[in-house]
Structure 1
Amino acid sequence: MTKAKVAVLISGRGSNMAALLYAAKAADCPYEIVLVAANDSEAAGLTLAAAEGIATFAHSHKGLKRAEFDAIIDARLREAGAHYVALAGYMRLLSPEFVANWEGRMLNIHPSLLPKYKGLNTHAQAIAAGDSHAGCSVHIVTAELDDGPVLGQTPVAILPGDSEDSLAARILIAEHQLYSRTLADFVTRERSPDYLLAKVRERALALPQVDEVTSHGMPCFGILKGKKFAYVSHNHHGDGVVALLVKTTAAEEQAMLIESDPARYYRPAYFGDGWVGIRLDLGDTDWDQIAERLHAGWRQVAPRKLLGLMDIAEEF
């Protein structure tokens, strides 16, 4: 099993980081921790991560603009080969540029049942409101604070006489259970054939005059009542992979792509030199690049009149 590579950002003791780290030690866990980074070199979680053999990085944010500091962190995440980012008590507001760079690949855990009580002092707010339950949520990070799509939640009962500290202690137990499970489900979803087909479908059907049919037992995309330019293959002829099969301009382009990344690109059986297979199930698919490949394949089969109209439109 190819494991998704996750970097964790912390600011302090890193208890949620530790929960993710120890969950990742299980042989069947679909992710591995490749880096723990902090904005404070004294963050206690760094010591734990290093002791467990995880690469660490620390850099103070003091004296730097938010975007400048985030660019430093972003560079280290990429050097570590991270596919995903998990925020675990990371007490920094993120720049729009950083959020955009990790759009759809960065999760956060928040100590409330979102959309209730965004920001700080969540336990005090839940107690003051007379709620029967508080809890925690894991969500996808977006530009708005604690506002991304919620992936999982755990309600925690508020007991008579609860203080902020007593409630926080029980919620922390729930956080440790929820975060590792939700992260595992999330990175597994990124390898699901249905999920991957939906991502390809969204991009392929956005092209002009394209329809979807089934051919050779696979979903495929082509010009309406015309030639096909892309197929989505799931274990086709027993190859065990989920891939996009897309038209190329020539055999030379196919060979160039395969040589550039043989783990991702391959020559699809029975399709010849005018096609290339692109693995979608590696957990780090660049969907902008997939959109570009689909567009290039579409141009190979689109009628000249349609291409002419599109080229004219693009000039404006």
Structure 2
Amino acid sequence: MKAKVAVLISGAGTNMAALLYAAKLPNCPYEIVLVASNNSDAEGLKIAATEGVPVFAKSHVGLERAAHDAIMHEAITQSGATYVVLAGYMRILSTEFVAKWGGRMLNIHPSLLPKYKGLHTHQRAIEAKDPVAGTSVHLVTAELDDGPVLGQIEVAILPGDTANTLADRVKMAEYQLYPKTLADYVARDTNPEYLTAQVRKYAFAQPEADEVLSHGMPCFGIIGGKKFAYVSIDHHGDGNIALLVKISGIEEQAMLIDSDAERYHRPAYFGDGWVGIRLDLGDTDWDHIGDWIAKSWRAVAPKKLTKLVDVAAEF
């Protein structure tokens, strides 16, 4: 299943085009499901529409920032996108919008971050007599150009370079970096090692937890006690990666499956006291998964251990 990506642009959309054409290559793990803009005349919209990608435009003129961001957010969610990519989107985003897409929104910046955040990056690199400039892809956070860096490419600064000549070469580097970095990042959603590591982090946050291999699956339990979580990786050839956790019984299991049959399922051979939660759908809420793991741990933990946890929580 390919990750669904919405791209936000304001102008020519050349980085968007690089992402779009890379998405046509065999085995690319993402697809562009929407190109949206705050400028209805953006040239990039024409490129996307010609390639059969849905487009959306809404001018920000006359709208408060939060109101415009809410409109863009609605268009993105309606497209089914689980990632947002900024590609020359010339708008500072509201903290509310950034929070909604935390960990799932990428941006490309024309410098080797953390150097030269903001504007005029090429001129600043030249004036500083740096031997190299470059480009960075980073996660978007509330602070401008400050999110974790996911990938970079260095570009040598040549004698006699101007900001414009350097910018032309950095652009070529951007077209290589952005599709590759995006592909690597979204591929985590179906990478068993990454997904297991995420579950492991939450499982080991529980008191007296240990890990063993059980029924061919990574399994987490209380030391010397019962198991509270399994990671099912293509178990019995179902092709899915799922977390198996304890629940109260068949009624809760049925309620969960009825609410979202794609996400929840009855795990084979585990009975009615367990539920499977798909981890490979591309939109996993890891805080929610952490809550499930904690609840499952509590369901099997000895009372003396849960009492200790409850007492500690009071302080």
User: Where on the TM-score scale, by shorter chain, does this alignment land: which range?
Assistant: over 0.9
Q: Distance in 2 between matches of 1:167 and 1:308?
A: 63
Deviation per CA, 1:67-115: give whole Å up to 9, x if none: 2222221122111111111110111112222111111111111111111
260-269 or 32-41: which moved more?
260-269
Deviation at 1:312, TM superposition (A): 6.4
Q: Say whether residues 1:189 and 2:188 are aligned partners.
A: yes
Amino acid at match of 1:62: V
1:219 is aligned to 218
Distance 1:296 1:75 in 2: 32
Match of 2:145 in 1: 146
Percent of residue pairs bearing the same amino acid type: 68
**Is the partner of 1:203 in helix, strand or coil?**
helix
RMSD: 1.9
Is residue 280 from structure 1 mapped to residue 276 from structure 2 by the alignment? no
Greater Cα offset, 8-17 or 227-236: 227-236
TM-score normalised to structure 2 length = 0.93
1:311 shift after superposition = 5.3
Q: What corresponds to 1:67 in structure 2?
A: 66
**The residue matched to 2:190 in structure 1 has which SS?**
coil
CA apart distance, 1:139: 1.0
**Hey, what does 2:10 align to over in structure 1?**
11
Q: Which runs of 4+ in 1 moved over 4 A?
A: 308-316
Give per-residue Cα distances to partners, 1:226-285, cap 9 Å, x unaligned: 211111122323333221111111112222222332222222222111111122122221
Give 1:241's aligned residue. 240
| Alpha-carbon distance between aligned partners in 2 of 1:81 and 1:292, rounded to the nearest angstrom | 25
Q: CA deviation at 1:65?
A: 2.7
Q: Distance in 2 between matches of 1:42 and 1:315?
A: 57
1:40 and 2:63 equivalent?
A: no
**Deviation, structure 1 residue 310:** 4.8
Q: Does 1:168 align with 2:170?
A: no
Counterpart of 1:94? 93
Question: Unpaired segments of 5 or more residues in structure 2?
Answer: none
Secondary structure class of the residue paired with 1:190: helix
| Residues 61-140 of structure 1 mapped to structure 2, 5 A cutoff | 61-140=60-139
1:301 equivalent in alignment to 2:300? yes
The gaps in structure 1 that reach 5 residues or longer are none
Q: CA deviation at 1:122?
A: 0.5
Tell me the secondary structure at the aligned position of residue 9 of structure 1.
strand
Secondary structure, aligned partner of 2:90: coil
Greater shift, 227-236 or 105-114, is seen at 227-236
